[in-house]
Homo-oligomer: A and B are copies of this chain.
Amino acid sequence: MVRYFEDITPEETHDLGSYTADRDELIEFAQRYDPQLIHVDPEVARETMYGGLIASGWHTAGSCMALLVEGFLSETATLGSFGLEELRWRTPVRPGDTVRAELAVVETTASESRDDRGYVTLDVRAENEQGEEVVYWRSTNIFLTRDGGDEWPTAE
């Protein structure tokens, strides 16, 4: 059943599950979207302060976004997001790391101008197996209300 704006409550949290960073995928992603040497060239990366290849922060964020969609957004009437209030890359992800993500709903705000939608502030945090935070972001997402639900094809 699809969850609408009214169904999403502040302080709700969700374990979003985990992914394991695959070396070839990290390199392939970075070659296309973030071709810095520390993300694409293991030999060069070894000589830097990082001591070896690290994932692009955008890959880490995207992989956690996939977990957010699968574990939360896909069951909601979401209309997307305005953007991020903040994003922090705290600890690099390295090949083989398993990263677990969790979601916390921070705040829900009904739209003042439209009764078919509302806004939800979400915190996504992810950590590696050592408990080190690898990425955190706060986003504002738009959700249809039950009144607005007939705009939503998956609500049928």
Contact with B along A33-77 (1 / 0, CB 8 A): 111111000001001110000001110011101100110011000
* A73 and B36 contact, Cβ closer than 8 Å, known pairs A85-B86, A86-B84: yes
Query: Which residues of chain B have C-beta atoms less than 8 A from A80's C-beta?
Result: 36, 38, 57, 89, 92
How many protomers of this protein does the assembly include?
2
Q: Does A20 contact B (CB under 8 A)?
A: no
Within A104-152, which residues are at the interface with B (CB < 8 Å)?
137, 151-152
B35 and A69 contact, CB distance less than 8 A: yes
Contact of A36 among B35, B37, B74 (CB under 8 A): B74
B88 and A87 contact, CB distance less than 8 A: no
Query: Which residues of chain B have C-beta atoms less than 8 A from A8's C-beta?
Result: none
A70 and B35 contact, CB distance less than 8 A: yes
A48 and B153 contact, CB distance less than 8 A: yes
Report how far A37 CA is from B39 CA in the complex, Å.
30
B79 and A34 contact, CB distance less than 8 A: no
17 contacts between A and B (CB under 8 A): A33-B63, A34-B69, A35-B70, A36-B74, A37-B153, A38-B80, A44-B154, A47-B153, A48-B152, A57-B80, A57-B83, A58-B61, A83-B88, A84-B84, A84-B137, A85-B86, A86-B86
- Residue ranges of A at the interface with B (Cβ–Cβ < 8 Å): 32-38, 44, 47-49, 56-58, 61-63, 65-66, 69-70, 73-74, 78-89, 92, 137, 151-154
